[in-house]
Structure 1
Amino acid sequence: DAIVERNYVRADPSYLKTLGQAHSGWIFGAIAELVDNARDAKATKLEISIDTIYSKRASGSIPLLSIIDDGHGMTHQEIVRMTCFGHKQPEAYEPERIGRFGVGFKTGAMRLGRDALVLTQTANSRSIAFLSQSLNEGKDNLEIPIVSYRREGQIMEVDITVQSSALAKYNLKAIKEFSPFNKYLIGEKAALFCEGTGTQIYIWSLDKWGSDYSLEWHTGLKGGSSFHQGDILIRSRRIRSRPGQISQQVRLDYSLRSYMEVIFLVPRMKIYVQGSLVKSRPLEKSLNKTVIETGNVMGKHVQLTLGRCQLEWEQANCGIFLYWHGRLIEAYKRVGGMVHGADVGRGVIGVIDVTDVMDDGNVSVWVHSNKQGFQDSEAYALLEEWLGRKADEYWDNNFDSLQLKKSNSLYKPDQEWVQCDKCRKWRMLSSNWDSKNLPLEWFCYMEPFKGSCETPEQKVEQGVITVSAKRSGYKNQQKASKFDDDAVNVSNTTEGDKDDSDQDMEDGKARGLKRLRRGLTRACRKA
């Protein structure tokens, strides 16, 4: 009888480089994978920085990217699961969890550099894992050294229940030989946990851009203004391609600080880049003429927030920010008339969470494994169509004329918000307060809130508002803009929101120029 042989997969070391190509289009997508893991670990603080370290193998100093969080850490079984190539998706539905595919750490780390070391600690254990192309160079099969310890009183001892002492010794020797980390440096980094929990990821042999590195980094000035804060930049400073886009001022595309400002729909975790705190920018709370559009796509409820942003108007940007499980997947997605005309939708920003539409209910999702786009599916096509229709309606109802003068951009958000640096809750400022006058570190007990962190976070009440800026060609228009049945306005404008262009129109001194409609007419689109 023939012997039945079971065929097990062998992973060639070159597969590590292949994994990194998942983020070949945008290197910040690789960093985002590691940020996702920190949020899934319930971290309250995350530090991302690049510094130099001495490497014996390189005979000199090399740049070292570090990503450190204070989450719950990983046990031996969990870090083995993280370093394996894919794993079963979670059976329980967790709306707040981003990780789904089991490849994020590998694809992210191997895109950023050739070698990565993970140091993680729970309340009762500590583990070190080494994912390295240098270590595996010339080998026939991929080797990932892992050393785990368990707490015995006040010290950590090698955990012989998950590995033998000889294997732990062998793995630790390999880590010290092929990395800049000796036992003293490992001990120094472990001390950063301060008896707490968390995960530290260190990546070196960073990706190259020609003869230099793909990333460049700057340390900010201590005590300086927000314009002198540290940042990590993509050296090419290339703007990502989007249909219909002509603007070349999309800082989010090459500035990590700008990307981290909007990466989460509801920002809670404190994120530091190059040692300085990132000031989160919740997009929904920074818009003018805000409306909420609701509807159904494939039987799933969707809610879109639309508004006008002064900063985006000045930079000629517009589009929809699509979030999935609270994490940004697509930014500045142009829909409807925005695709066909550069002037259409200028300054208009939309924010939507598409979790329900992009999850089919059977654990499967319509999101790319690199979390930088959506799969070509019926759900996504219908969502695009709905977004385009609502964005066009918003533009037609509010901005059918453009004032070709700088003063037209002087709109304030419907409300200004500030985030407490302790409880991370957002507080609405009164109309006579300017957020620019607040200190860099603000707490609930300070003016103008003068409350406590225990006070629940304020919610924006829904209701109909009047649009303060009159459209050109319509004199004495005081009535509220009428939207369809599923459009709800969420803010009240005041007389103080009017700018010089409004006054000019009231006095009859200026008339706006009608915008040029590009692309198909509305009648053709309906046909």
Structure 2
Amino acid sequence: MTGGMDHVRVHPRFLHSNATSHKWVLGAFAELLDNSLDEVCNGATYVNIDMLRNKKDGNKMLLIEDNGGGMDPDKMRQCMSLGYSLKSKVADTIGQYGNGFKTSTMRLGADVIVFSRCSAKDGKSSTQSIGLLSYTFLRSTGKEDIVVPMLDYQKDGREWKKIIRSSPADWNTNADAVFQWSPFSSEASLLKQFDHIKDQGTRIIIYNLWDDDQGQLELDFEADEEDIQIRGVNRDEKNIRMANIYPNCRHYLTYKHSLRSYASILYLRIPPGFRMILRGKDIQHHNIVNDMMIVNEITYRPQPGADKVSQDSNIVAVVTMGFVKDARAHIDVQGYNVYHKNRLIKPFWRLWNVAGSSGRGVIGVLEANFVEPAHDKQGFERTIVLSRLEARLIQMQKNYWYARHRPCGLSNYDSPSQISNLYHFRP
């Protein structure tokens, strides 16, 4: 029986299968960073990602918190429901998909507890809410609906008073479920989490993190105490060693396994004063253009009438291309970093695949707001517009390569200025 608990009529197995839509675990982090960045309009000045310890069992947990506007009880329920997104009606927000919070948190771990405080506005009192989305709870209790225990409070003077939505007995049923299945065993320990939030904000704690095929945590917190990395096929020790030798290729060599590296190139622009903090240290925003030499800019205008592309002549993409400054080392780095509405969708997208070294060392950056991202924001929907963009980007890379390349080895040259002499630069 679910009693007075909030619940959604979807089988809990859907939570797990839905989370696997994130093939890449760092893509799940990106969804949560998007949500915090979208809160800049509500006063957010930071997002903080860290590791915590579960006091019940000593296991590692993930923390993602920001000081944005927070969520009132109704918005909290919308956040924890499936297929609902208020952002779909808001222009210029990154997180457009209602399932983003659920799929990303469930991709990182089996369980998540959310604390959110919303400051007083529009004549309404301040509120704070706690919500538990726990696959462990649902599976262990044999629930056939997705039950989301929630606790709400409203500020009355200096005190926080319970919001009783149905009956005190139902409120207690929700509280008992949270005490049993969350890392917090009492109401006092739950409320203490709001000390971190101050006036407004949201604090997300993900626990029972997933293991990999070898039975180790998928997330690696030990390799670098200032980073969160992933184990397995995305981690290449040779690339890590090369990244220390060739700094201009560092992000290409490390973004697949390092959250710090990936997050530093995740956005083209960071709002002034906004901080992304990972394990106590700021993530330094990085523009891939700074890794280039012999830079060239080309304006691409999508063909009007293709799919849903507007006739608006202002819809263009400025493609910035160049040789990576470490090109003389013959590192096989090439491809385009393609952003959509400021957010990186395709990192180092390799389109020109030929035998030999043709195209090697050429990288590019563009913001293509006229192509539609896939639901997990790790690729684009296959459309005519995308096919035409692909073909044009390949041609741009070919033109750039053949206009500047001569058949003598870059390794004979020691400095960017000497390498520059190797090419016929035509803006």
- Give aligned pairs, total: 382
Is 1:254 paired with 2:251?
Answer: no
Q: Cα gap change, 1:88/1:175 in structure 2, threshold over 3 Å: closer, same or farther?
A: closer
Aligned to 2:391: 385
Residue 99 of structure 1, aligned match among 95, 100, 105: 95
Provide the rounded CA distance (Å) in 2 between the counterparts of 1:117 and 1:9.
Answer: 17
Q: Cα gap change, 1:163/1:398 in structure 2, threshold over 3 Å: closer, same or farther?
A: farther
What RMSD, in angstroms, separates the aligned Cα atoms of the two structures? 2.6
Provide the rounded CA distance (Å) in 2 between the counterparts of 1:264 and 1:202.
Answer: 24
SS at the partner of 1:405?
helix
SS at the partner of 1:168?
helix
Q: Cα gap change, 1:112/1:88 in structure 2, threshold over 3 Å: closer, same or farther?
A: closer
Contact kept in structure 2, 1:22 and 1:370, CA below 8 Å: yes
Segments of structure 1 that go 5 or more residues without pairing to the other structure are 1-7, 221-228, 241-246, 359-365, 413-466, 483-488, 490-527
Q: Deviations over 1:63-88 (max 9, x none)?
A: 11111111111111111111111126
Question: 2:80 corresponds to which letter in structure 1?
Answer: T
Q: Deviations over 1:167-221 (max 9, x none)?
A: 3322122111111113233232210112x2111110111111122111111386x
Aligned to 2:349: 333
Q: Deviations over 1:335-394 (max 9, x none)?
A: 23xx11452232222111111x11xxxxxxx32111111111111111101111112212
Aligned to 1:453: none
Residue 112 of structure 2, aligned match among 109, 113, 116: 116
Provide the rounded CA distance (Å) in 2 between the counterparts of 1:402 and 1:201.
Answer: 54
Greater fraction of residues in helix? 2
Contact kept in structure 2, 1:313 and 1:346, CA below 8 Å: no
Aligned to 1:470: 421
Provide the rounded CA distance (Å) in 2 between the counterparts of 1:75 and 1:16.
Answer: 24
Residues 85-164 of structure 1 mapped to structure 2, 5 A cutoff: 85-87=82-84, 90=87, 92=89, 94-95=91-92, 97-123=93-119, 124-137=126-139, 138-160=142-164, 162=165, 164=167
SS at the partner of 1:185?
helix
Q: Cα gap change, 1:319/1:153 in structure 2, threshold over 3 Å: closer, same or farther?
A: same
Aligned to 1:11: 10
Contact kept in structure 1, 2:11 and 2:144, CA below 8 Å: yes
Provide the rounded CA distance (Å) in 2 between the counterparts of 1:10 and 1:333.
Answer: 40
Contact kept in structure 2, 1:75 and 1:122, CA below 8 Å: yes
Residue 273 of structure 1, aligned match among 271, 278, 293: 278
Aligned to 2:26: 28
Question: 2:324 corresponds to which letter in structure 1?
Answer: C
| Structure 1 residue 282 displacement after superposition | 1.6
Q: Cα gap change, 1:313/1:128 in structure 2, threshold over 3 Å: closer, same or farther?
A: farther
Residues 278-289 of structure 1 mapped to structure 2, 5 A cutoff: 278-289=283-294
Aligned to 1:201: 204
| Structure 1 residue 469 displacement after superposition | 1.9
Normalising by structure 2, report the TM-score. 0.83
SS at the partner of 1:94?
coil
Contact kept in structure 2, 1:316 and 1:346, CA below 8 Å: yes
Residues 225-374 of structure 1 mapped to structure 2, 5 A cutoff: 230-238=226-234, 250-268=253-271, 269-299=274-304, 300-311=315-326, 314=329, 315-336=331-352, 339-341=353-355, 343-355=357-369, 357-358=370-371, 366-374=372-380
Residue 69 of structure 1, aligned match among 66, 69, 86: 66
Segments of structure 2 that go 5 or more residues without pairing to the other structure are 1-6, 120-125, 237-248, 305-314
Q: Cα gap change, 1:9/1:112 in structure 2, threshold over 3 Å: closer, same or farther?
A: closer
Q: Deviations over 1:137-191 (max 9, x none)?
A: 211221011112122222221224x554433322122111111113233232210
SS at the partner of 1:379?
helix
Contact kept in structure 1, 2:345 and 2:378, CA below 8 Å: yes
SS at the partner of 2:317?
strand
Question: 2:117 corresponds to which letter in structure 1?
Answer: Q
Normalising by structure 1, report the TM-score. 0.68
SS at the partner of 2:365?
strand
SS at the partner of 1:46?
strand
Aligned to 1:214: 218
| Structure 1 residue 89 displacement after superposition | 6.6
Contact kept in structure 1, 2:336 and 2:349, CA below 8 Å: yes
Contact kept in structure 2, 1:89 and 1:101, CA below 8 Å: no
Provide the rounded CA distance (Å) in 2 between the counterparts of 1:125 and 1:289.
Answer: 55
Provide the rounded CA distance (Å) in 1 between the counterparts of 2:383 and 2:395.
Answer: 19
Provide the rounded CA distance (Å) in 2 between the counterparts of 1:46 and 1:101.
Answer: 20
Residues 451-466 of structure 1 mapped to structure 2, 5 A cutoff: none
Q: Deviations over 1:100-143 (max 9, x none)?
A: 12001110111111110011111111111100011112112210
SS at the partner of 2:184?
coil
**Larger Rg, first or second structure (1 or 2):** 1
Question: 1:149 corresponds to which letter in structure 2?
Answer: Y
| Structure 1 residue 272 displacement after superposition | 1.6
| Structure 1 residue 9 displacement after superposition | 8.1
Contact kept in structure 1, 2:328 and 2:410, CA below 8 Å: no
| Structure 1 residue 44 displacement after superposition | 2.0
Contact kept in structure 2, 1:218 and 1:274, CA below 8 Å: no
Is 1:398 paired with 2:404?
Answer: yes
Aligned to 1:51: 52
Contact kept in structure 2, 1:230 and 1:276, CA below 8 Å: yes
SS at the partner of 2:110?
strand
Residues 151-190 of structure 1 mapped to structure 2, 5 A cutoff: 151-160=155-164, 162=165, 164-182=167-185, 183-190=187-194
SS at the partner of 1:136?
helix
SS at the partner of 1:272?
strand
Q: Cα gap change, 1:237/1:402 in structure 2, threshold over 3 Å: closer, same or farther?
A: farther
